Structure 1
Amino acid sequence: MQITSTVAGRENAVITLFSDVFSDSDGADEGALIGKLVRQMLTRTPEADLVPYLALDGDSLIGAVLFTRLAFAQDPRTVFLLSPMAVATRWQGHGVGQALIRAALEDLRARGVDVAVTYGDPAFYGKTGFQPVSVEALAAPLPLSHPHGWIAQSLDGTPLTPISGGSACVAALDNPAYW
């Protein structure tokens, strides 16, 4: 498996991967919703605010995760949000997702990102160092329907401390349907 942050020329394959995976797990409507989200993220998010990672088996796209900037006006730390993530249905359970996240976090650390956040299953993401965090310690950009899924980790080697002020996500994620 090869991991790359180069999406150029693979945009449609990335969108299809997310649409297919979410359709398989949550139905066609969810697949369409997440496919639309990924398309908007890839086409409308400023380059400095989006860091994609792809897992390839030869030329085949088998997984992808997108990290986008989560801005805090009152805190100087650089924070990126992991969302969404997908592993091709037939590759699930083979360690692709965990390897992809670990490689992405290592690269983000090397880029100087201070904190990584995600909104998902603490049992899955906990395997890569994410831990529950309250919205009082790290504000979500929109109200969370499942606050127990708000998880984060420090990437700069220091303990995660509260982040000051409210947060703002990229435009594509600024929709209550995702939260």
Structure 2
Amino acid sequence: MHGASSPGWLLVALCAATGAYCLLRMRSPVEEQRRAAGGEALMGFGMAAMAVPATVLTPPRWAWLGYTAVFGAAALRALWAARTCPHHLHHLVGASAMVYMAAAMARGAHSGVPVLTGVLLVYFTAYVLWTGTRLVPVAVAGHEGGGTRAARWGDRPELSRACRLSMGIGMLAMLLTL
């Protein structure tokens, strides 16, 4: 994507770390956790690859077309999964946003359609704010803390939410540079 080099590398690191944690979540014994983690790992690593500063690496046109195809397939999978789980609608929007950004870069147009970019910016801003509020600790009434076992790293809901928040912020940053 376009923009300054230092923030670009920070975005690459954030998205790659998020993708790596999502791979860890894929080892969860909870099936829904594994299913969501796979799509989120793809998004994290894809965002990391797309965020490499253009001053370091300018991918050829066919690479952007490859991103478009991969995220187009991810969008179709999310659409299919959304039939039974509404959370996948967010995955559909995220994958579609990646298709949109990759297609804009493949065309060589360093800006997208302003109205669509604006709609995506509003959506991801609302998503980041909503996800951020869900990270605020809430006291659990009647819980004494005894007898419960700590959740495995791949099954901790607050880490999953933090990863989703990170990817939402990353998506905002990428859309702003489009």
Give the TM-score category using the shorter length: 0.3 to 0.5
> Structure 1 length normalisation: TM-score?
0.38
> Structure 2 length normalisation: TM-score?
0.38
- Structure showing greater relative contact order (alpha-carbon pairs closer than 8 Å, 6 or more residues apart): 2
**Structure with more of its chain in helix, by fraction:** 2
